Structure 1
Amino acid sequence: MNEAAQADDAIIAPRDGVSYVRGTTHIALLDSTVSRVLRDTVRRFPGRDAVVFSDQHIRWTWKAFDEQVDALALGLLELGVKKGDRVAIWSPNRAEWLVTQFATARIGAILVNINPAYRLHELEYALNKVGCTVLISAVRFKTSDYLDMLRTLAPELDAGHARLSSARLPHLTYVVQMGEAAVAGMLRYADVVHSGMQARQCAGATRLAAGEATLHCDEPINIQFTSGTTGNPKGATLTHRNIVNNGRFIGMAMKLDERDALCIPVPFYHCFGMVLGVLACVSSGAKMVFPCEGFDAGATLRAVSIERCTGLHGVPTMFIAELDHPEFESFDLRSLRTGIMAGSPCPIETMKKVVSRMHMAEVTIAYGMTETSPVSFQSSTEDPLDKRVTTVGRIQPHLEVRIVGPDGDTVPVGVKGELWTRGYSVMVGYWDDDDKTREAIVDGWMRTGDLATLDEDGYCNIVGRVKDMLIRGGENVYPREIEEFLFQHPDVQSVQVFGVPDAKYGEEICAWIVPKPGRTLTDVDIRQFCEGQIAHFKIPRYIRFVDAIPMTVTGKAQKFVMRDRMIEELGLKTAKTA
C-alpha cells in the first residue's frame, strides 16, 4: 500500500481479530455521469482506436464511437424518449448494444438489460416489471428467434403501425430491430441512427448538451435483472455513481491505460461485460475488443492474437475452454499481461495455467454481485501469486465489508460467515419491490448471500453460498471445498457439487463431473481418489459423468437445474428446488 493510502482511514487488514475491513479513500469518488466519463476520454484520445467488433468488421476511434452515441441518443429523443424512461436492450454482444449503453446514459434514460437467453415469460415479465417504452432487439441469437417471440407477445406488430399498442406489453411503444430488412411494426436501428444524424446537423449537439446538464450522478441509469434460482428475477437499479466508480477502480486495479487493449468475450447484459469490461476501458482509454456475439474459444484467442490484446476477461469455464482449444498453441498470446477471472469460483489449477500458458502474469480475481455494481474485492496485479490463486483479493476503495455470523454479529478472522458490504456501490434497490429491497439491504449493508472468510491480511476467500451449504448427518458441508479437491484429479475438466434430500442423513452429496476429452472415469476412480484425502462424510454418494454442466449465459453453474434432475432421477418426492 502506498503512503497516501496509509494516510487515510482505510482498514485493509482486520484489526483486533474481527472480520471487518474498510477500503482506502485517498482517491476521491467521481461525481460524474456515464456520458461525461465517455466525453472526457474522447477529448483525451479522439484519434486512438476505441472499439473493435471482430464479427461485424467494425473499428471505431473514440471520436467515431462518440458520434455513433450522439446519433442514437438524438434518434431516441426523436422517438419521444425522455429522461427516466426505460429503454430495454435484448441482444448478444453487438456494436448496437454498446452504443445503446451510452446513448441512453447521454439522455438520462434508464437502460434495462435483457438476458439474451430469455424466452417468452421472462421477456414479458421484465418489460412489464419496469415499464419499458422502447425495446432495441437483435433479430436472433443461437436458437432464439427474437422477432418471432415479440410477435407472439404482441401480435399487433403485424398490423404494421410504427407506434405499438399491445395488450400484453402495455408500456411498450416502439420496437427497434437491428436487422437490415424492414419488419412490419418495427423500426430499423439504422433508420433511428440516421434520423439522429440529421438532427445532429440541426443544433442536435446543443440539444444534447442542454439535456446532459440536467443529469446527476446519483440518478438511476441501469436496471439489471438478477438470475435467482426461484421466483421471478429482481431488477437491481444502479446509478451513474455506482457503475462509473466501480468501473474506474477496476481499471486501476488492472493498471489499464490508453496503451492497453482488453478482449471482452463476456456478455454485455451482465455487469462483467458492461462494467468490468466496458466502463473499465472507457475510464482509462483502453481499446475494447469484442471477438464474437457469443463466447467462442477460438474466436477469442484469434482476437487476442490479431489485436495484440494486453488483457482478457472471462469466467473460469471460458478460460478452461481456451486452454483446452485444439489449436491453442497456434495463437500468439505473448501480448497478454492482465485481465479478470470472475463470475464464479476460480479453480486454483486453472488460474495457474492462465498465468503460465497464457502469459497473464498480472491476471486478477474479482468478486462481487450485480447489486453492488458489482465488484467489492479484487486482487492486485502485484499481489503474490498464492494470494491471487486462493483468494479474491482485498477490499476495493470506498467500501466496507464485514463477515456476519448467524447471530448477526461480526465473526472473528478466519471464521466463515455471510459477507455484507456497504458503500457507494450498493444499488438504489430493486425496482418496484420495496419488500425485497428491505430484506437485502440492512442499514446500508447489502447482504450478499455468499459465505466468506477474511484472513489476517484482509484477503477474502469465498467458500460458497449460504443456500448452497448442505448439512449431512449434522455436519456442515461446503460444496466448493469438495469441488476444489476433485478438480485436482488429472482426468477431471470441471465439477459441481450439491446436495439432494436423504431420509437418513438429511442431505446426501452429489457430484456432476465433466471428464477431460478422451478420458474415461468411473465412480470407483473418484471414490478411490477421495479415500484418505477428505473426510468420509464429504465423499459424494451420487456421482454422474456428464458432457457439460448447465450454465447461465455468464458461466454460472445452475445447481438448481442439476438438483432437480437428480431428484427426478432418484425418485425423491419430498424435495423442492433450492
Structure 2
Amino acid sequence: MAAVVAAAVRDADRYRPPTLTGLVDLLDRQARERPYARALVVGGERVHLSYRALAALADDVAARLGGAGLRRGDAVGVLSANTAEFVVALFGAARAGLVVAPLDPALPMAQLSARVSALGARGVLVGPPVADTRLPVQAWPLRVGVSRAGTASVTLDVGPAAHLPRAAAELSGDDALVMFTAGTSARAKMVPLTHTNVTASVRNICATYELGPRDATVAVMPFFHGHGLFAALLASLASGGCVLLPERGRFSATTFWDDMRAVAATWFTAVPALHEILLDRSEQEYPGPQAPPLKFVRSCSAPLNTATQRALERTFGAPLLSAYGMTESSHQATSEPLPGRGELKQGSVGRPTGVEVRVVGPGGIPCPVGVEGEVWVQGPTVARGYLGDADETSYTFVDGWLRTGDLGLLDADGYLSLTGRITNLINRGGEKIAPEHVEDILAGCPGVAEAAVFAVPDATYGQRVGAAVVVRDGEGVDAAEILRYCRDRLAAFEVPDRLEVVDALPYTAKGGLDRKAVQARYAP
C-alpha cells in the first residue's frame, strides 16, 4: 500500500494557531491586543522592545521605502546579523509590499554581489556588523536605537533604487521572501516564498509546539536561513512570544545560558553541531537548577544521532524534538510532537506538520511502509519553483510535489526516518553506503564528539569509505579503537577504510557539516 501521510489535526479546543495572512500583518494582533508586551530583548544590554514599538519602527521604514519610489513586488536585500536592524528591516520592507531577500553577512563580497545581481534587488538594507558595502546596488544603512525606557528610533537614508531586471521580474506582490539555498554564488538557488507559504509555515510551527505569549527563546540560528527565520523569529512573534537577540547578533556558547535566563526562555532550536557544543560545555556552563525550565528543545537542519539526543535530554531535563525541513518547503515539514501529543520516536524526525509526505522509488512510485526511497513533500508551504532556473524547477517540483533529494522511510504511524541524501551516497563496488548512517555509528563511540564520512577514490572499487573524527578533550580513544567499535556495528563494506582523528570539522554558516570542504580536505 502506498505510504501517504497527512498532518494530524490538532484539537482546536486545546490550541489555536495565530491568525495572519503573511509578513505584512504578522505583528498586528500583538501590537493591538498586547502593545507593551516584550517582542524583542536586544543585545548585551538586553533592552526590551515592545510589540507596539517594533510595529511603529516597521511602519517608519515602510514609509521611507515607499517614499523612495519602490513598488509592490520589488525585491530588496536585508544584510545583517540577528539584530534589531534585521527584524525592523524585514517587517518594514514587508509592510511596504516589497519582497525581502535575507543575505548572509559572512559571505565574501563577491558572492554577496553575485546573489544581489542574480536576483535583481533594487537595493539592500544593511545593519550591523556589515561595514563593506561595495554592492552592485545601493546599500541603505539602517540603525535602530532602543533606550532602557523602551523608546526606539530608526535611522535610514534610502538612496536611488537600482533597476536590475534579472530574476526579480518573476516576482509579484503575492511574494514575501526570496531565500537562497546552500551553495556557492554560482550554485545557490533562489526560492520565492509567497505570503501564503509564510502563513502556512508559521501556523504549522506554532501549532506543533503550541507556542504562545508565555514562551520565549534565544535566537541561536541565523535569520538569513529558514531555520532561524521561521522557527525562532516569525513563529515566536506571531504567537506573542519573545525573542532575545544575543550581543552582536550571533550565538555565543559562553553567554548562551545567561541569555536564556535573562529572557526566561521556555525553548530553543539549533542544529546538532551547536547542541553538541552546548553538551560538551555543560559540565562547566550549564546552570542546573538555576536554568529556566524548558518545555522542549528542538533540533533541525541536520541529522541528530540518538546518543546525543538522549544525553541532551538527561542534561537539560527537557524532551528533545527532532524536526525536518528545507528552504523549498518554507522550513518545517515534519517534527516529533510535544509529550502527550503523540509518541516520541528517537531516531525519527516525527510526523508531517501541515503537509503530506511520501516516500517514493524509481518512477515516483510510492514505497510501502518501512521501505527506503526519496522523500517527497506536498502542501501549502511548498514553493512554486526556483527563480531564473526552469530546468531545476522542472526536475525538483513534480505535479505539486517537492523532490527533496533526501532518502528516508515511513513507519506504520507516519513517522519519517531519514537515512541519507541521494547525492552523498558512496558507491563501493556496487554497495551503496549512506555517510549519515556511518556517522551516526561513529558518533555513538565513547569519546567521539563529531564525525564526517566521505568517499575516497579507489581504482578497484570506484570509491572507498573515509572518515574524519573529532575526539572529546581528555578522551584517550584512538583510531584503532574507533574502528573496532565500528566493526561490531556496521556491515564490513561500511567500515571506514581510512579513518583520521582531527582537531575540528568544517561547518557552513548555517551550521551544517560542510561536506565539500571535508571532501577536499581529507579525501585526496
TM-score by length of 1: 0.81
Residues 340 and 366 in structure 1, CA contact (< 8 A), matched pair in contact too: yes
Q: CA deviation at 1:330?
A: 3.2
Query: Is 1:65 paired with 2:75?
Result: no
Deviations 1:218-252 (A, max 9, x none): 81110111013794211111011111221121122
Query: Is 1:97 paired with 2:86?
Result: yes
Instruction: Say which SS state the counterpart of residue 540 (structure 1) adopts.
Output: coil
Describe the shift of the 1:305–1:388 C-alpha distance in structure 2 as closer, same or farther (beyond 3 A). farther
Corresponding letter in the other structure for 1:559: R
Describe the shift of the 1:433–1:123 C-alpha distance in structure 2 as closer, same or farther (beyond 3 A). same
Corresponding letter in the other structure for 2:85: E
For residues 111-190 of structure 1, the aligned pairs below 5 Å read: 111-140=100-129, 146-148=130-132, 150-151=133-134, 169=136, 172-176=137-141, 178=143, 190=154
Structure 2 CA distance for aligned equivalents of residues 229 and 481 of structure 1:
26
Structure 2 CA distance for aligned equivalents of residues 63 and 194 of structure 1:
24
Structure 1 CA distance for aligned equivalents of residues 107 and 375 of structure 2:
30
Q: CA deviation at 1:388?
A: 4.2
Q: CA deviation at 1:177?
A: 5.2
Residues 229 and 560 in structure 1, CA contact (< 8 A), matched pair in contact too: no
From 17, 21, 26, the equivalent of 2:5 is 21
Query: Is 1:282 paired with 2:237?
Result: yes
2:210 corresponds to: 255
Q: Percent identity?
A: 29
Deviations 1:93-136 (A, max 9, x none): 11100111111111110111111221132111111111111212
Query: Is 1:353 paired with 2:311?
Result: yes
Query: Is 1:375 paired with 2:332?
Result: yes
Deviations 1:176-225 (A, max 9, x none): 25499xxxxxxxx9432899xxxxxxxxxxxxxxxxxxxx9981110111
2:478 corresponds to: 522
Residues 72 and 100 in structure 1, CA contact (< 8 A), matched pair in contact too: yes
Query: Is 1:449 paired with 2:405?
Result: yes
1:161 corresponds to: none
Structure 1 CA distance for aligned equivalents of residues 22 and 30 of structure 2:
13
Instruction: Say which SS state the counterpart of residue 64 (structure 1) adopts.
Output: helix
Structure 2 CA distance for aligned equivalents of residues 315 and 490 of structure 1:
21
For residues 272-311 of structure 1, the aligned pairs below 5 Å read: 272-292=227-247, 293-311=249-267
Q: Which has the larger radius of gyration?
A: 1
Describe the shift of the 1:176–1:54 C-alpha distance in structure 2 as closer, same or farther (beyond 3 A). closer
Deviations 1:513-564 (A, max 9, x none): 1111122432211112122332111110111222221111121101111112
Instruction: Say which SS state the counterpart of residue 112 (structure 1) adopts.
Output: strand
Query: Is 1:425 paired with 2:394?
Result: no
Instruction: Say which SS state the counterpart of residue 277 (structure 1) adopts.
Output: helix
Instruction: Say which SS state the counterpart of residue 147 (structure 1) adopts.
Output: coil
Structure 2 CA distance for aligned equivalents of residues 232 and 348 of structure 1:
33
Instruction: Say which SS state the counterpart of residue 155 (structure 2) adopts.
Output: helix
Describe the shift of the 1:217–1:305 C-alpha distance in structure 2 as closer, same or farther (beyond 3 A). farther
Structure 1 CA distance for aligned equivalents of residues 302 and 173 of structure 2:
29
Residues 218 and 241 in structure 1, CA contact (< 8 A), matched pair in contact too: no
Structure 1 CA distance for aligned equivalents of residues 461 and 380 of structure 2:
44
Instruction: Say which SS state the counterpart of residue 99 (structure 1) adopts.
Output: helix
Structure 1 CA distance for aligned equivalents of residues 215 and 144 of structure 2:
32
Corresponding letter in the other structure for 1:390: G
From 259, 264, 269, the equivalent of 2:219 is 264
Deviations 1:251-272 (A, max 9, x none): 2211211111122211011111
- Runs of 5+ in structure 2 lacking a partner? 146-152, 160-170
Query: Is 1:493 paired with 2:477?
Result: no
Residues 73 and 173 in structure 2, CA contact (< 8 A), matched pair in contact too: no
Describe the shift of the 1:501–1:371 C-alpha distance in structure 2 as closer, same or farther (beyond 3 A). same
Residues 338 and 360 in structure 1, CA contact (< 8 A), matched pair in contact too: yes
Query: Is 1:40 paired with 2:29?
Result: yes
Corresponding letter in the other structure for 1:394: R
Corresponding letter in the other structure for 1:327: Q
Instruction: Say which SS state the counterpart of residue 255 (structure 2) adopts.
Output: helix
Structure 1 CA distance for aligned equivalents of residues 114 and 190 of structure 2:
11
RMSD: 2.5
Residues 495 and 512 in structure 1, CA contact (< 8 A), matched pair in contact too: yes
Corresponding letter in the other structure for 1:176: P
Q: CA deviation at 1:422?
A: 0.9
Residues 413 and 456 in structure 1, CA contact (< 8 A), matched pair in contact too: yes
More deviation, 447-456/286-295:
286-295
Instruction: Say which SS state the counterpart of residue 37 (structure 1) adopts.
Output: coil
1:467 corresponds to: 423
Describe the shift of the 1:24–1:384 C-alpha distance in structure 2 as closer, same or farther (beyond 3 A). closer
Query: Is 1:191 paired with 2:147?
Result: no
Q: CA deviation at 1:175?
A: 3.0
* Larger fraction in helix: 1
Corresponding letter in the other structure for 2:155: D
Instruction: Say which SS state the counterpart of residue 24 (structure 2) adopts.
Output: helix
Query: Is 1:393 paired with 2:324?
Result: no
Q: CA deviation at 1:385?
A: 9.6
Corresponding letter in the other structure for 2:123: V
Q: CA deviation at 1:409?
A: 0.9
- Runs of 5+ in structure 1 lacking a partner? 1-15, 141-145, 154-168, 181-188, 196-215, 571-578
Structure 2 CA distance for aligned equivalents of residues 385 and 532 of structure 1:
33
1:211 corresponds to: none
